[in-house]
Amino acid sequence: MAVFTKPDFKSSTVKSKKKEIPEGLWTKCESCGEVLFNKELQDNQMVCKVCGHHFNIGGHDRLRFLLDPESFEEHDTNLIPVDVLKFTGATSYVDRLKTYQKKTGLNDAVVSGLGKIEGQAVSVAVMDFNFLAATMGSVVGEKIARAIERGTKKKIPVIVICASGGARMHEGMFSLMQMAKTSGALARHAKKGLPYIAVLTNPTMAGVMASFATLGDLIIAEPKAMIGFAGARVIKGTTQADLPKGFQTAEFLLDHGLIDMIVPRQQMRSTLAKTLGYLGGRHTHKS
């Protein structure tokens, strides 16, 4: 159903070194209030050295922290969201897209491609919460499905760094169907005996949770990430019940047996490398 228009000469495969360092010299920790030196904060992968708060980071920053230097080859930068429903409402979808494209420099909420983690080739996709709360529209679903299929084709592990506020309502049922598309691609990937790891970051909710975020051979969360299906406000509104302490945090999910482990950002890369070492199965994915 893809619509092919607007030919230009932008490459879909580019080496990316884009950095997203916050402007200014200092940043105040959103959690403990400590004033942090930006250079130090960056060196600590945007984690507060005092309280361990994990700041929200963009897709390219994430990949810089995760992948071997210079190993990332970006794909599918040429997919552009469209206002398929001509959504008429309180806000225009086209305007919202323009605003976020300008703000983030991305076409939509996923950065994806091929890279290496401690020498091991992986197909990777990162959801960027800064773009429309990483809601799942057609481009998000397509880029994730292609990243999975790329992993299947190249017989390498797939890693998806998840984050999402929910559905891309402006794309209606096309938004819902991305859950089907991505999960179907994972079924085929799994059938080949290939590993898939889902990393859940703050926040990962709704349709993303009810599809690829919970289908990992391993599911790893960042500390204190909010993770769930229905939003806390909806649950409270429906049930009129008080929510348990720490409800829908990564720690709560670990206690209830819903995820494998909680790993701080600075140890994510080594943890992925180590665990992938156990998931070779009948494939050799050292390159």
Partner 1 sequence: MEKIKVQPLEFEKPIVELEKMLDELEAHSKEHAVDITDEVAQLHQRIRETKQEIYSNLTPWQRVQIVRHPRRPFALDYLKLIATDFTELSGDRLFGNDRALIGGFATINDIKCLVLGQQKGRDTKENLMRNFGCAHPEGYRKALRLMRLADKFKLPIICLIDTPGAYPGVASEQRHVAEAIAVNIREMFQLQVPIIAVVLGEGGSGGALGIGIADKVLILENAYYSVISPEGCAAILWKDAKMAPQAAAALKMTSPDLKELGLVDDVIPEPPGGAHHDWEQAAESLKSAIVRHLEKLQKTDIEKLLDQRYDKFRAFGVFEEEEAAV
Q: Could you tell which of Zn ion, partner 1, none binds residue 10, using a CB distance below 5 to 8 A set by kind?
A: partner 1
| Cβ–Cβ under 8 Å, residues 149 and 268 | no
Q: What is the C-alpha to C-alpha distance for residues 287 and 285, in angstroms, rounded to an integer?
A: 6
Site for partner 1 in 204-243 (CB under 8 A): 206-207, 209-215, 228-231, 234-235, 238-239, 241, 243
Candidates 18-26, 50-58, 59-67, 85-93; binding stretch for partner 1 (CB under 8 A): 85-93
Please identify, using beta-carbon distances, which residue of 96 and 224 lies nearer to Zn ion: 224
Q: Is 167 in the site for partner 1 (CB under 8 A)?
A: yes
Q: Could you tell which of Zn ion, partner 1, none binds residue 256, using a CB distance below 5 to 8 A set by kind?
A: partner 1
Please identify, using beta-carbon distances, which residue of 35 and 232 lies nearer to partner 1: 232
Query: What separation in angstroms does the CA of 261 have from each of 49, 54, 207, 253?
Result: 21, 16, 22, 9
Please identify, using beta-carbon distances, which residue of 29 and 221 lies nearer to Zn ion: 29
| Cβ–Cβ under 8 Å, residues 26 and 4 | no
Q: Could you tell which of Zn ion, partner 1, none binds residue 2, using a CB distance below 5 to 8 A set by kind?
A: partner 1
Q: Could you tell which of Zn ion, partner 1, none binds residue 80, using a CB distance below 5 to 8 A set by kind?
A: partner 1
Q: Is 50 in the site for Zn ion (CB under 5 A)?
A: yes
Candidates 27-35, 37-45, 64-72, 181-189; binding stretch for partner 1 (CB under 8 A): 181-189
Site for partner 1 in 145-164 (CB under 8 A): 145
Please identify, using beta-carbon distances, which residue of 172 and 280 lies nearer to partner 1: 172
| Cβ–Cβ under 8 Å, residues 166 and 133 | yes
Please identify, using beta-carbon distances, which residue of 238 and 284 lies nearer to partner 1: 238
Q: Is 260 in the site for partner 1 (CB under 8 A)?
A: no
Query: What separation in angstroms does the CA of 107 have from each of 111, 125, 205, 264?
Result: 9, 14, 22, 29
Nearest to 1 by CA among 160, 138, 173, 205: 138
Q: Could you tell which of partner 1, Zn ion, none binds residue 7, using a CB distance below 5 to 8 A set by kind?
A: partner 1
Q: What is the C-alpha to C-alpha distance for residues 243 and 246, in angstroms, rounded to an integer?
A: 8
**Shortest Å distance, C-beta 176 to partner 1:** 4
Q: Is 181 in the site for partner 1 (CB under 8 A)?
A: yes
Nearest to 281 by CA among 190, 153, 146, 182: 190
Please identify, using beta-carbon distances, which residue of 191 and 282 lies nearer to partner 1: 191
Binding-site member from 32, 180, 232, 243 for Zn ion (CB under 5 A): 32
Nearest to 223 by CA among 165, 258, 253, 263: 263
| Cβ–Cβ under 8 Å, residues 170 and 85 | yes
Please tell me whether the peptide bond between 7 and the residue prior to it is cis, using omega within 30 degrees of 0: no
The enclosing H or E element of 245 equals none
Pull the structure tokens for residue 216: 């990992």
